[in-house]
Amino acid sequence: MKNVLITGGAGFISHHMIYYLIKNTDWNIVSLDRLDYSGNLNRLDHILSELSSSEKSRVKVVFHDLKSEINPWIKKEIGEIDIILHLAAGSHVDRSIDYPMEFVLDNVVGTANILEYARSINEEKGLERIIYFSTDEVFGPAPNGIDYKENDRYNSTNPYSATKAGGEELAVAYENTYNLPVYITHTMNVFGERQHPEKFIPMCIKKIRDEEKVTIHSDKSKTIPGTRHYIHAEDVADAIYFLLKEKIKPELDFGNAKCPKFNIVGPEEINNLQLAQLIADSQGKDLKYEMVDFHSSRPGHDLRYSLSGEKMKKLGWIPSIKLSQRINQVVEWSLKNENWIEL
């Protein structure tokens, strides 16, 4: 039995991670969260209500803000830990543009504090693994035909992606300097049940339900919509569990970079107009939409992001469920649980 610390446990991806691990392992989970704009304790309450008493007993919640170090008192509350999954982060691009220093503190300083905590554990008893969750946005916009690989150069275009890149480089430095057993993952456009209602998919579900117009961000001509590889949070959790189970042989590149990185990519690339149409079709409704020049309406955002999933595919992991099936699943759930798509 392993003990896993998940930072930002009340966050969107994190609570799916907790549920997945409780259902698929006998591991104990400690959720560390400060419960702010991104964290919602109701997410944990909702998934815990679906667990048995014995499963619930394996989840512990500890309150802490990672802008402060993990002091001896918090460390005692957390207890013995074998694996750390560091998901806590400021993740709303628009907020990062308005309040960049908040994201420096959350994503760079917060990461430094969890890495220091991980270093202390590793020096005391050995840490099996720490996974730092990064984002596709560190690579910046992807021209047509380009899918960024794990070790391609960065080109951050907003404070959110820059601070995630900063945290990622700190994680690499701790692996190189202190031999910390770090993995880094890049994910892109994760969706699923209980996502913040301002995100594109829950927003579309609500607007289409209410027969309102959906805004589709596009190029300057207002004819080419932005594209993404959308992936369900359960598939992300499945990929992380795969990485924790598998013994992966490290591959040094030409610069002897040894910190392993992995892109966790959705099953297909789709533009946002096609995605909105899928959501409308799932509800049996007509899609009302307006194409908007994304640069003028959302400075700091990019039209296309794209990652290569070849590395994970070669290792033996790909998403097992089609995007259209996942969209139908989330639409059906959201319409039955409408409070989660209301602001």
Among the listed residues 190, 199, 195, 87, the one whose alpha carbon sits nearest the alpha carbon of residue 136:
190
For residues 216 and 252, what is the distance between their CA atoms, to the nearest angstrom?
41
Q: Which tokens go with 7? A: 């930072």
Question: CA separation (Å) from 7 to 86, 127, 214, 331?
Answer: 5, 16, 33, 28
pLDDT of 256 reads 73
Catalytic positions, written as ranges: 136-137, 160
pLDDT of 298 reads 57
pLDDT of 257 reads 76
3-191+229-264 is a CATH 3.40.50.300 domain: no
In the chain, ranges of CATH 3.90.25.10 domains: 200-227+270-302+322-341
In the chain, ranges of CATH 3.40.50.720 domains: 3-191+229-264
Query: How would you write the pLDDT of the chain (343 residues) with one tens digit per residue?
Result: 899 999 999 999 999 999 999 999 999 999 999 876 555 788 998 999 999 999 999 999 999 999 999 999 999 999 999 999 999 998 888 889 999 999 999 999 999 999 999 999 999 999 999 999 999 999 999 988 899 999 999 999 999 999 999 999 999 999 999 999 999 999 989 999 999 998 999 999 999 999 999 999 888 888 888 888 999 999 999 999 999 998 887 776 667 778 899 999 998 899 999 999 999 999 999 999 998 886 655 565 568 889 999 999 999 999 989 999 999 999 999 999 999 998 7
pLDDT of 41 reads 80
pLDDT of 247 reads 83
In this structure, which amino acid lies at residue 165?
A
For residues 100 and 97, what is the distance between their CA atoms, to the nearest angstrom?
6
pLDDT tens for each residue of 188-247: 899 999 999 989 999 999 999 999 999 998 888 888 888 889 999 999 999 999 999 988
In this prediction the pTM is 0.94
pLDDT of 92 reads 82
pLDDT of 39 reads 56
Kindly state which CATH superfamily the domain 200-227+270-302+322-341 is placed in.
UDP-galactose 4-epimerase, domain 1 (3.90.25.10)
pLDDT of 207 reads 97
pLDDT of 339 reads 93
Backbone angles phi, psi at 269, to 5 degrees: -90, 140
